Structure 1
Amino acid sequence: MSRGVIGRTLAVVRELPEELVLPPGALPATTPDPPAPTRDAASVLLVRDGERGLEVFLQRRVLGMAFAGGMTVFPGGGVDPRDADTSVEWAGPPPSWWAGRFGCGEEVARALVCAAVRETFEESGVLLAGPSASEVVADASAYFAERRALERRELSLAAFLAGARLVLRADLLRPWANWVTPVEEPRRYDTRFFTAALPDGQLADGVTSEASDAVWQRPSEAIADWEEGRRLLLPPTWVALADLAELGSVAEALAVEREVDRVIPKLVRDGDVVRVVLP
Structure 2
Amino acid sequence: MTVAIRDAASVMVVRRHAAGASVLMGMRGAGAAFMPSKFVFPGGAVDPEDGHVALARPLGTTCHARLLQEDGVSPDAIAAAALRELAEETGLLIGRPGGPPCDWPGHAGAILTPDAAPLIYMFRAITPPGRPRRFDAHFFVADAVDIAGDPDDFSAACDELSHLHWVPLDQAGALDLPFITEVVLAELSALIRDLAHDKPLSPPATVPFFDNRGPAPVFRQLR
State TM-score, norm by structure 1.
0.64
2:25 is aligned to: 58
1:177 is aligned to: 123
Structure 2 counterpart of 1:264, from 211, 214, 218: 211
Shift of 1:62: 1.0
Within-5 A mapping of 1:96-245: 98-102=63-67, 103-104=69-70, 107-132=73-98, 158-160=102-104, 165-198=111-144, 199=146, 201-204=149-152, 205=154, 207-223=157-173, 225=174, 231-245=175-189
1:43 matched to 2:4? The reply is no
Q: Give the 3 Å change call, closer, same or farther, for CA 250–171 of structure 1 in structure 2.
A: farther
Q: Give the 3 Å change call, closer, same or farther, for CA 97–254 of structure 1 in structure 2.
A: closer
* Equivalent residues of 2:17, 2:197 under 8 A apart: no
Task: Could you tell me which runs of 5 or more consecutive residues in structure 1 were left unpaired when the two chains were aligned.
Answer: 1-31, 134-156, 226-230, 267-276
1:78 is aligned to: 45
* Equivalent residues of 1:41, 1:78 under 8 A apart: yes
Say which SS state the counterpart of residue 159 (structure 1) adopts. coil
Task: Could you tell me which runs of 5 or more consecutive residues in structure 2 were left unpaired when the two chains were aligned.
Answer: none
Instruction: State the Cα RMSD in Å.
Output: 2.9
Q: Give the 3 Å change call, closer, same or farther, for CA 99–163 of structure 1 in structure 2.
A: same
Query: Highest Rg: 1 or 2?
Result: 1
State TM-score, norm by structure 2.
0.79
- Give the distance between the partners of 2:108 and 2:31, measured in 1 at CA: 36
* Percent of residue pairs bearing the same amino acid type: 30
- Give the distance between the partners of 2:176 and 2:165, measured in 1 at CA: 15
* Equivalent residues of 1:85, 1:158 under 8 A apart: no
Q: Give the 3 Å change call, closer, same or farther, for CA 208–159 of structure 1 in structure 2.
A: closer
Letter in 2 for 1:79: V
